[in-house]
Structure 1
Amino acid sequence: METAKPKNETVAPQPVKGGLVAYLQVDGAMKAAEFYKKAFGAEMAGYHPPDEQGRTMHAHVYINGSSLMLSDAYPDHGYPHEKPQAFTVLLPLASDDIDAWWKRAVDAGMEVTLDLQVMFWGDRYGQLRDPFGVSWAMNAPVNG
Structure 2
Amino acid sequence: MSETHVVADEQEMPKTLGGVVPYLMVDGASKAAEFYRQAFAAEEVFRQPEDENGRTMHIHLYIHGGSLMLSDAYPEYGQELRDHAGYTLTLAVDDVDGWWARAVGAGMEVIMPLERMFWGDRYGQLRDPFGVTWAIVGK
Classify the TM-score, shorter chain.
Answer: over 0.9
1:8–1:50 Cα contact (<8 Å) kept: no
Aligned to 1:110: 108
- Give the whole-Å Cα distance in 2 for the aligned partners of 1:128 and 1:33: 17
TM-score by length of 1: 0.89
Measured against aligned partners, the alpha-carbon deviations of 1:28-53 in whole angstroms (never above 9, x if no partner) come to 11110000000000000101001111
Aligned to 2:22: 22
Q: Which runs of 5+ in 1 are unaligned?
A: none
- Give the whole-Å Cα distance in 1 for the aligned partners of 2:89 and 2:7: 29
- How well do the aligned residues superpose, as a CA RMSD in angstroms? 1.9
1:29–1:70 Cα contact (<8 Å) kept: yes
Aligned to 1:53: 53
2:112 is aligned with what amino acid?
L
- Give the whole-Å Cα distance in 2 for the aligned partners of 1:140 and 1:7: 31
2:82 is aligned with what amino acid?
E
TM-score by length of 2: 0.92
In structure 2, do the counterparts of structure 1 residues 125 and 7 end up closer, same or farther at CA, with 3 Å as the change threshold? closer
Do residues 78 (structure 1) and 41 (structure 2) align?
no
1:110–1:129 Cα contact (<8 Å) kept: yes
Aligned to 2:123: 125
1:71 is aligned with what amino acid?
S
Structure 2 counterpart SS, 1:37:
helix
Count residues with an aligned counterpart.
137
Aligned to 1:136: 134
